[in-house]
Each structure stands twice: as structure tokens, then as C-alpha cells.
């Protein structure tokens, strides 16, 4: 199994980091988790076109995680010979979001059908919604066909509901935590995971900025310490810091450089810690 970090950025535009998006690959099968700003361009750089994606899974519907869904849908449709459906899994509200997206694309879809004789209908985007629960417990399995994909609820309130996703295949496992503070759903999915990817913020830096709207991000994201403690508690092998706010400096050893981020995590977690760039590939091994 491998993980491709297509976009490692945050809502703050960054020339070096695209919006949130990761691809999970298993034996030639590819799954896309979130589709933030610049996702399709980063997929092109990774030689991974939208037509190769088996399904799209969304952690939540915050704009920075879904701005490129329309591009994934359109590009997959017009590059498919013939076009194939794009299954989408996400939290409740996803079906309405996809319907709104297709409605927004309606004029363009009509033009392309009118111009190309082999396009008989618009994109097919079947949606399945889950709250990440099964019965009275956590962890709803949405796929179990050589690759087992499980969702669990996270806590990103007032954004609700939100999900994390776990992939299990070939004896290895990876968890994409999305945006969340520590919560039972993350603990459930991360238990024994080989790789855990978590959105993180630097509370020590953000708290010094006298802008309430910026400081507000602290109450619904994991800090580096939070993510590290979740990883340690769950027995994770590798912790991946992602969607970092503020973006790490370009000099790893400089102020707010990646060395600082990694050191903060190492105070609470003694496993491997990574802070990847866009396009980095991470092998997921048991």
C-alpha cells in the first residue's frame, strides 16, 4: 500500500502546498480522500489522472477540502472512453453537495454533450453517506473487497458531521484523520494503524496572533501534541503531520521549520514522525 500526499496545505493559499488531498494506492487500485485546491494538478504531477480513481471519499464539506471536486468530476467524465461513474462516500450532506456541484456544472455539461457525439449523458456520481457509526458502535465499513475502508465520526464542531477514514489491505493500514480534535472515533480507527495522517496546528504560534478569526482555528483542530498523543495512545507506527497551520517555513532548521514541528511531536510520541511536501509518497507497511 502507498500514500501519495497530493495536497498538504491549509485554507491559506500557499504556492508550495495545494489543498487537502491524499491518494491511497493498493495493487493498482486508487482511492482519493478529499479534493482541495489544486488537487487535479497535483494528480497530474503524480501521473495519476482522475479516471484512475476508484472512488472519492470526503472527510467533511469545508471548502478547502472540496474545492476541486468539480474538477475531479469534470476531468474524469471528459477523459473517460467511455465515461465511468465516480462513486463518492462522505458524511450526511454529501449527496446535496454533489447535486449542487452537478447543477453548477450544468451549462458546461450541456455544451460538452452538444459538441461530442460520444457523450450521451452527464457525469454519473453515485453518493453513499455515512455517519461513521454501526449500530451502537464506531466504525462503518463502506468497502470490503480486497481493500477494507472504514469510516468513523470525528469532532470538528461546529462543522458536523465529519469523518476519518481507515484503509486496510495486504496486512497494512493507514488512517486519514481529516480535521478534528482528539475524539473516540480517531482512537477507534487509529488502533494499531501503521500510518496515521492528521491535520495539525501550532497553538504556540497561532495564539500570539491578535486576529480572533485566526485564533478560532485552535478550538476545532488537533495541535501537534494532540496528534502525537493520539498516535501514542493508539499504538501507531508512523505519524504524518498534514495541513499544517501556519505553514512550516521553507528552511527545516529555521523558525517554524519542519524540525520544530517534528520535535514537538517527538515530545509525546516515540514512533516515526513525518512532515511531507506535496507529491511525497509514503510506503505503508505493517
Q: 132-158: per-residue pLDDT in tens? A: 999 889 999 999 999 999 999 999 999
Q: Is the pLDDT of residue 170 over 90?
A: yes
Is 90 exceeded by the pLDDT of residue 167? yes
CATH number, domain 2-283: 3.60.15.10
* Exposed / middle / buried, residue 177 (Cβ in 10 Å: 0-12, 13-18, 19+): buried
Pairing of strands 2-7, 281-283: antiparallel
User: Rounded mean pLDDT of 217-229?
Assistant: 94
**pLDDT > 90 in the chain, percent:** 88
How far is the C-alpha of 208 from the C-alpha of 89, rounded, in Å? 38
Whether the CB-CB separation of 187 and 166 falls below 8 Å is answered with no
Q: What pLDDT does 255 receive?
A: 87
| Per-residue pLDDT at 231 exceeds 90 | yes
Question: Tens digits of per-residue pLDDT, 234-270?
Answer: 999 999 999 999 999 988 888 898 999 999 999 999 9
Give the neighbor-by-neighbor strand order of the sheet with 140-144.
140-144, 148-156, 159-169, 172-176, 195-201, 238-245, 272-274
pTM: 0.96
Name the DSSP class of 192: T
Instruction: Identify whether 64 is a catalytic site residue.
Output: yes
Query: Of 14, 27, 34, 64, which one is the catalytic site residue?
Result: 64
Predicted local distance difference test score (pLDDT) of residue 253: 86
Q: What is the pLDDT of residue 214?
A: 84
Amino acid at each position: 500500500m502507498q500514500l501519495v500526499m497530493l495536497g498538504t496545505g491549509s485554507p491559506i493559499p500557499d504556492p508550495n502546498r495545494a489543498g487537502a488531498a491524499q491518494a491511497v494506492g493498493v495493487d493498482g487500485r486508487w482511492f482519493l480522500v478529499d479534493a482541495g485546491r489544486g488537487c487535479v494538478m497535483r494528480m497530474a504531477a503524480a501521473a495519476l489522472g482522475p479516471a484512475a480513481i476508484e472512488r472519492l471519499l470526503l472527510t467533511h464539506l469545508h471548502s478547502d477540502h472540496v474545492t476541486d471536486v468539480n474538477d475531479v468530476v469534470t476531468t474524469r467524465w471528459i477523459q473517460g472512453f467511455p465515461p465511468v461513474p465516480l462513486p463518492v462516500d462522505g458524511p450526511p450532506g454529501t449527496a446535496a453537495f454533489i447535486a449542487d456541484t452537478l447543477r453548477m456544472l450544468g451549462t458546461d455539461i450541456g455544451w460538452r454533450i452538444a459538441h461530442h457525439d460520444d457523450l450521451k449523458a452527464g457525469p454519473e456520481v453515485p453518493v453513499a453517506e455515512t455517519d461513521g457509526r454501526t449500530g451502537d458502535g464506531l466504525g462503518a465499513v463502506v468497502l470490503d473487497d480486497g481493500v477494507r475502508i472504514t469510516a468513523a465520526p470525528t469532532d470538528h464542531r461546529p462543522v458536523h458531521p465529519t469523518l476519518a477514514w481507515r484503509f486496510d489491505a495486504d496486512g497494512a493500514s493507514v488512517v486519514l484523520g481529516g480535521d478534528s480534535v482528539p475524539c473516540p472515533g480517531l482512537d477507534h480507527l487509529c488502533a494499531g494503524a501503521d500510518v496515521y495522517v492528521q491535520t495539525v496546528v501550532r497553538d504556540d504560534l497561532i495564539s500570539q496572533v491578535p486576529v480572533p478569526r485566526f485564533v478560532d482555528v485552535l478550538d476545532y483542530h488537533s495541535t501537534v501534541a494532540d496528534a502525537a498523543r493520539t498516535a501514542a495512545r493508539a499504538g501507531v507506527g508512523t505519524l504524518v503531520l498534514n495541513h499544517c497551520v501556519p505553514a512550516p517555513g521553507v528552511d527545516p532548521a529555521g523558525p517554524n521549520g519542519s524540525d520544530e514541528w517534528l520535535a514537538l511531536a517527538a515530545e509525546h510520541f516515540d514512533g516515526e514522525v513525518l512532515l511531507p511536501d506535496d507529491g511525497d509518497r509514503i510506503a505503508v507497511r505493517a
